[in-house]
Amino acid sequence: MAEPLSLFATCLVEAFYPRVGQAVVEVLERLGHDVDLPPEQTCCGLPLYNSGFHDEAAKVAAHAIRALAGTRRVVVPSGSCAWMMRVAYPELVPEGGRALAERVVEFTEVVEQANVTARALPGASATYHASCHLERALGGAGRPERVLARIEGLARCPMQGQATCCGFGGTFAVRYPEVSGALLDEKLDHAAKTGAEKLVVTDPGCMLHLDGGAHRRGSGPKVVHLAELLLESGVGK
């Protein structure tokens, strides 16, 4: 049996993408993890922190620390939320923050450690967008791609500018919507040019933005979270 884990679903998953939460749970269970869902969880507080409301962010962080109290490691299917807990929580709530930070693990870290096997559906093809938080701030450069590489038979279609920011940036998306939109267009253009069937992301924030854009266009690759692709590819140990 793999270690038991607590899931921090993230506010965006709960508000908009429960199917991502479902895929994450199913993948982790197939890898042998027992997963619980601490009921008092809400939001990690990143939008408040990034907007400079650090007192409010500290309150939300303190709540999250209480909600996630326990001994299990906490798995987070989002590079940005994982960053918030690992890097900002110790600053905002020194005692409890540091303790929680040490227990936080980002979803792709768990998957990579598990040495998974998976086989893509026939004809499946995917292009990948690198989340800024996961690959830069959290130091996870290359990890999601190493996981993707374990999906046998998946046609990989690298896009131009894969590591360029998608333009979401949290509240940036509504503060400077025109620039956000220009970056979105460019990212979706690059994705479409690859001809891939799916656009794989690891961050619900990027997903909300890219999926919303793809839906507006009505064409181009379908935006999916890595967990969804793993599930569809019959991931196991």
Residue 224 found at the interface with other proteins (CB under 8 A)? no
Instruction: State how far the Cα of 141 lies from the Cα of 163, in Å rounded to an integer.
Output: 10
Does residue 116 touch other proteins according to CB under 8 A? no
Q: How many residues lie near other proteins (CB under 8 A)?
A: 64
Long-range contacts of range 175-182, CB-CB < 8 Å, 24 or more positions apart?
180/209, 181/213
Q: How many CA atoms within 13 Å lie on the side-chain side of 35?
A: 21
Q: How far is the CB of 36 from other proteins (least distance, A)?
A: 8
Q: Does residue number 22 form part of the binding site for other proteins (CB under 8 A)?
A: yes
For residue 228 the two structure tokens come to: 């969804």
Q: Is residue 45 within the footprint of other proteins (CB under 8 A)?
A: yes
Question: One symbol per residue from 185 to 214: x for binding other proteins (CB under 8 A), - otherwise; what is it?
Answer: -----------------------xx-xxx-
Q: Tell me the closest approach of the beta carbon of residue 153 to other proteins, in angstroms.
A: 29
E strands in 34-124: 35-36, 73-76, 104-106, 118-119
| Alpha carbon 49 to its chain's center | 18
Stretch binding other proteins (CB under 8 A), from 105-113, 149-157, 176-184, 227-235? 176-184
Interface with other proteins, residue 136, by CB under 8 A: yes
Residue 226: Cβ within 10 Å count: 25
183 lies in the binding site for other proteins (CB under 8 A): yes
| Amino acid letter, 68 | L
- Binding of other proteins by 48 (CB under 8 A): yes
Among 23, 47, 128, 151, binds other proteins (CB under 8 A): 47
Residue positions counted in the chain: 237
Instruction: Provide, rounded to whole angstroms, the least separation between the CB of residue 171 and other proteins.
Output: 7
CA–CA gap between residue 61 and residue 44 (Å, rounded): 6
Q: Max CA-CA distance within the chain?
A: 51
Among 1, 39, 122, 219, the residue binding other proteins under the rule CB under 8 A is 39
Beta bridge partners of 223: 199
DSSP β-ladder status, 155-156 and 151-152: unpaired
Residues at the site binding other proteins, with contacts judged by CB under 8 A? 9, 11, 13-18, 21-22, 25, 36-37, 39-43, 45, 47-54, 56-57, 59-60, 62-63, 67, 132, 136-137, 164-165, 167-184, 208-209, 211-213, 215-216
